[in-house]
Chains A and B, each alone.
Chain A
Amino acid sequence: MKSRLALRTVALGYLGLLLLLPVGMVFYRAFEHGLAKFFDALTTPDAKHAIGLTLLVVGIAVPVNTVFGIITALALERRSFRGRAVVERIVDMPFVISPIVVGLALVLVYGEQGWAGNALISEGIRVIFSVPGIVLATMFVSLPFVVREVAPVLREIGTEQEEAAQNLGASACQTFRRVTLPAIRPAVAYGVVLTTARALGEFGAVAVVSGHLQGQTETMTLYVQDRFEGFDVSGAYAISVLLAVFAMSALLGMTYLDRRRSRRT
């Protein structure tokens, strides 16, 4: 009895000190001067632009990485090909490479001095210090989540159901839509939540490629840093709270959808 109480105290204390207290403080500071001030801080032109840009980046990176993630997971688990092990490792790269290195790498390739960047700039397409670079950096760092959630589930469900569907006349497309996708749906949903959270919160890689142009290439995380360093803490706290709210709604939304589906099975 005593030991259980001790265990609980330690666990809760740890979570409280490390997670709840700091995050709670951000929420407290964001609202300490009232709701009106909070909304004022969110509706400055730069803040609105940062929110819009982050939503745009997430809106591109998450769907692209979801589709790519499912295709990659299928390739890894359903096809045997040369270099399969290499692909496995490459997919994990964003997990192990520091985001700031990712940013630098993108500058090397797409920057003014980079071989691809040079060609693109002469075509009038600017990647670095522009929105495409931010999208690329975000996609890079949030790439593995869907693959890593979906691949083990594909392995676990095996190929029998898919073979049965084929045997009953279903084309590859029909088999995927009617048999494989329903089976991996919870894993995809969870992968999407993780990808979204990562894309929303990405800072390091984006910081390198964006150039911090206020009202042009500043995402929400960059805006938070910028305001914080410029002593506009209420602006920093307000956007921080909004970031947390976005991430949590993604989680809650997916949990809700998932539960509604799994109730049927």
Chain B
Amino acid sequence: MAIEGRNITKRFGDFTALDDVSIDVPAGSLTALLGPSGGGKSTLLRIIAGLEAPDAGEVSIEGRDMAGVTPQERGVGFVFQHYAAFKHMTVRENVAFGLRIRKRAKAEVNRRVDELLALVQLKPFAQRYPSELSGGQRQRMALARALAVEPSVLLLDEPFGALDANVREELRAWLRRLHQEMPVTTLFVTHDQEEAMELADQIVVISNGRVEQAGAPGDLYDRPANDFVMNFIGPVTRIDGRLVRPHDLQLFVEPTASADEAVVERIVRLGFEVRVEVALADGQPVSAQLPRTEAEQLELREGDIVYVRATIGESASQPRPTTRFARPSSSHRSPAPTP
């Protein structure tokens, strides 16, 4: 394990930020710390970096116990949520900072900084000041600065939190590629489950200072340990007192065994998928999600009566019963309009 955290507890006054948290980050992985804001993710990151001392528990990095090791000596790269750019230094000076502190030879510093600026695509901006950069550029500068000292692990605190949606998308893809080229063990904090699913090969879900579940994105999605994880990782809907994924619901137009009668309230076309919002007999709303072609076959309209059933205990990879979308051919309605 590149990073091991054991039974870490941290309190701020009466508030317990972390409560007996243990975490393993495999070497070379891209691991996400996922959870709602204020759940203790950033505190855990800061403890690993040595910026905060835990009240109990221990951290080791590459097998080395970090107790009493200063932030300077941990060999941890840290990218702050708001980048923490040195405002009075140029991009070049920012990236060179760690190397200059380490008193590396000038030629070596220049060569390494040039490499990194090329890597983060900031070469034309080397002489600019942080105030003259966009958010995405500042983020990449902060990343280059952290990578300059060749850290054994890289910690990113909400790396895309302060960026526009389209820039975020672009940087995500870029970070994924960067990690493939240069597989530094990376642990990043996010409250965006989509970001975690897309980027990480391991996700640790943290809420209220506790680890709810850790595992591969697919595992968490298909086998959530509890309702919280299920709720947090992807959409859910409640039927028969259970939480299920909207795409694990079957809709029938004819009465079917163990399916509940419901009225279609709204049909939302999301592009490839269609969300059908129905209300059960007792008025409880349930939302089902199905591919467009299947929805079209059902020819649903608002106000229609449908029968809804969860695919209990079936894993997502299993083929769904073909009867699922069966519909009598005697339909006199025209097909549902396509978006």
* A interface, CB within 8 angstroms of B: 160-161, 163-171, 174, 178-179, 182-183, 264-265
Contact = CB atoms under 8 A, between A and B. Distances in A.
B84 interface: yes
B44 interface: no
Residue of B77, B101, B146 with highest tally of chain A CB at under 10 A:
B101
Contact of B80 (A160, A170, A171, A182): A160
Contacts of B145: 164, 168
B82 A164 contact: no
Interface residues of B, number: 26
Contact of A167 (B71, B85, B86, B129): B71
Contacts of B131: 265
B101 A169 contact: yes
B76 interface: yes
B86 A169 contact: no
Contacts of B221: none
3 A-B pairs closest in CB distance: A168-B98, A160-B84, A164-B84
A171 B72 contact: yes
A178 B100 CA distance: 11
Contacts of B178: none
Nearest to A264: B88
B88 A169 contact: no
Interface in B55-76: 70-72, 76
B76 A168 contact: no
Interface string B8-34: 000000000000000000000000000
B129 A265 contact: yes
B72 A163 contact: no
B244 interface: no
Contacts of B98: 168-169
B112 to A, nearest CB: 13
A179 B49 CA distance: 19
Interface in B177-210: none
A171 B70 CA distance: 10
Contacts of A179: 86
Contacts of B71: 163, 166-167
B79 to A, nearest CB: 9
B78 interface: yes
Nearest to A174: B101
B149 interface: yes
21 contacts: A160-B84, A161-B87, A163-B78, A163-B80, A164-B78, A164-B86, A164-B145, A166-B51, A167-B51, A167-B72, A168-B146, A168-B149, A169-B72, A170-B72, A170-B97, A170-B101, A178-B97, A179-B86, A183-B87, A265-B88, A265-B129
B108 to A, nearest CB: 15
Given A167-B51, A264-B88, 7 more contacts: A161-B84, A163-B84, A165-B97, A167-B49, A167-B71, A168-B146, A171-B72
Interface in B106-135: 129, 131
Contacts of B102: 169
Interface in B146-184: 146, 148-149
Contact of B86 (A161, A166, A171): A161
A169 B149 contact: yes
A234 B145 CA distance: 63
A165 B70 CA distance: 13
Given A168-B97, A169-B149, A174-B101, A182 B88 contact: yes
A94 to B, nearest CB: 32
A224 B52 CA distance: 57
Contacts of A174: 101
B84 to A, nearest CB: 4
B253 to A, nearest CB: 58
A179 B80 CA distance: 16
